[in-house]
Amino acid sequence: MTFLKIAVASFTIALAGGSALAGTDLDAALQNGGERLNSDQIAELLIGHVVTARSGDKMFRFYYDPSNVVSGELTNGGWKGVGAYAITDTDHVCVSMAADKGRYRCLTAVRHGDVIQKFNASGKMTFELIDFEPSTGL
């Protein structure tokens, strides 16, 4: 019986260790001191602001109009888009650009120092939001 207990305990420890290694970008951000933002914090940062965001080596500007319309542009040209956004009571910001054909992509926002990071449903980091300026449009 002792062998069975040791085997079960070893399996449980191995399984827990494997789960930690399989973490997402979101898990890592939270484990490294990131603070998940709630819907009120997200609204305060986005609504009525032009947000400068980085995704990889690309820089974007997005304007979150109080009427739930979001417009965006690639800062060096080549892309402009308009869509809709919503901030949910489950602490997500959801965006649907015209190319999404009505599908909303809901993202989790995490503050880490002066930077806000957005993570998709699978926990992958999609954008770093690096500047917020009050505005009435792009």
User: Which residue range(s) make up the domain with 54?
Assistant: 24-134
- Please say if the pLDDT value at position 81 is more than 80: yes
For residue 14, being part of any structural domain is answered with no
Confidence of residue 137 (pLDDT cuts 50, 70, 90): confident
For residue 60, being part of any structural domain is answered with yes
In the chain, where does DSSP find H-type helix? 2-21, 25-31, 39-46
Question: What DSSP string describes 42-75?
Answer: HHHHHBTEEEEEEETTEEEEEEE-TTSEEEEEET
For residue 13, being part of any structural domain is answered with no
Q: Pick 21 or 135 by higher pLDDT.
A: 135
Distance CA 132, CA 46 (A): 8
Tell me: the pLDDT tens digits for 48-61? Answer: 999 999 999 999 99
For the domain that residue 55 is a member of, what is the CATH number?
2.40.128
Domain count, the chain: 1
Which pTM was predicted? Answer: 0.80
At residue 82, the pLDDT reads: 95
